[in-house]
Copies of this chain bind each other. A is one copy, B any other.
Amino acid sequence: MAKRVTSQDVADLAGVSRTTVSFVLNNVTRFNITPQTRQKVLDAAESLGYVPNASAQALASRRAKAIGLVMTRSPRYIASDTFLPQIIGGLLDVVKSKKLGLLIEWVEPGRQLATYRGLVNAKHIDGMILLTPRLDDDGLKELEDFDVPTILMGELPGSNLYSVDVDNRLAAQKVVGHLVDLGHRDIACILNAPPPYSSATERLLGYQDALEAANIPFNNQLVRHADFDPASGYKQMQALLTSAEPFSAVFTASDNVTIGVLSAIRDAGKLVPDDLSVAGFDDIPWAAFSDPPLTTIRMPAQELAHHACYLLLDLMQGQTPENKHMRLETELVIRKSTQAFTKLPV
């Protein structure tokens, strides 16, 4: 249990002051340090195995050297989020290269405001990335007033916060448009999440856009809301299949939900794509290997994370990029789960 090595120890060994040690180790160019002195300090630090105390650094510099990834969903849903690893992987890339820490937080519904305030005031983090924001988040407006750099991953209409996302509406329109182009007119829609989540609402709008462009009347009976996981997809698909409404294709606004959807279709004794075309959203790793391989929208999850992180870093350095809402390109990936309309299944 060796005693902590402090900057004083380094200073003593190098024969300089703590100030100088700090300047050297932080590459402060504003002051003049001779190369010799510099080297002496570096050698001393190296030989002692000096690592600055993060708390002291944070306290003195008023910078925590860490960012937070804040999730608005309960651990139960986090557990089945196939998307999260990609986000975290992407964030780690950046964070690591900038020598920052990554803190994971979760805000309880109903206590958002208090949680955000706590995070901000405790100064545990210098900025935060909010994942899957909810439309009914009461704390988000307040957040705009705090002076904490914040990036929304996901869009929230009307919010003044910076955001990084794909254009969910356009992407949904693209994939539903593909179904329309194949001749389908009765297209069911299973949303990824309940209405309070903005991505669900946006994807529904895109679905409607595609219908409208083809002069297909909107039928609310064909729209269902799933709840992130395969089980909810199974349930909603089963409900659709036993309903009186006929349809020849289904758009599922989340591949993770699609896992359950395909299963329900199989259990009902129908074939994809012969009886029913199925298109997804996200292109999770599973999609390319499903049976049949899934036509879907590629969500550039890691790139989203990269961009969100870099944008956050800019904000943390006091910059104010003029484009507040960054939208990344999505790509329609056509595989084997969709085919041209032939007839309505019985």
Contact = CB atoms under 8 A, between A and B. Distances in A.
A122 interface: yes
A230 B289 contact: yes
Given A122-B54, A285-B259, A104 B92 contact: yes
Given A54-B122, A82-B82, A90-B79, A102 B104 contact: yes
Number of copies: 2
Given A123-B55, A230-B285, A263-B291, A88 B92 contact: no
A312 to B, nearest CB: 16
Interface in A84-121: 84-86, 88-90, 92-93, 96, 101-106, 108, 117-118, 121
Contacts of A82: 82, 85
A102 B102 CA distance: 8
Nearest to A53: B123
Contacts of A93: 75
Interface stretch (A22-30, A56-64, A189-197): A56-64
Interface in A16-56: 49, 51-56
A266 B293 CA distance: 11
Contacts of A103: 66, 101-104
B121 A51 contact: yes
Nearest to A68: B101
B117 A106 contact: no
Contacts of A51: 117-118, 121-122
A209 interface: no
B75 A81 contact: no
Counting contact residues on chain A (CB < 8 A from B), the size range is 35 or more
Nearest to A122: B54
A54 B30 CA distance: 30
B75 A80 contact: no
A328 to B, nearest CB: 16
A302 interface: yes
Given A52-B122, A103-B103, A86 B79 contact: yes
A23 B295 CA distance: 60
A102 B104 CA distance: 6
B75 A90 contact: yes
A123 B54 contact: yes
A190 B11 CA distance: 55
Contacts of A89: 75-76, 78-79
Contacts of A123: 53-55
A184 B72 CA distance: 47
A60 to B, nearest CB: 9
Contacts of A293: 263
Interface of A: 1, 4-5, 49, 51-56, 58-59, 64, 66, 75-76, 78-82, 84-86, 88-90, 92-93, 96, 101-106, 108, 117-118, 121-124, 147, 229-231, 234, 256, 259-260, 262-263, 266, 285-286, 288-291, 293, 301-302
11 contacts: A53-B123, A55-B123, A79-B89, A79-B301, A101-B103, A230-B289, A260-B289, A262-B291, A263-B289, A263-B291, A266-B291
10 pairs of A and B residues whose beta carbons are closest in the complex: A51-B121, A79-B89, A55-B58, A75-B89, A263-B289, A55-B59, A78-B89, A54-B122, A54-B124, A79-B86
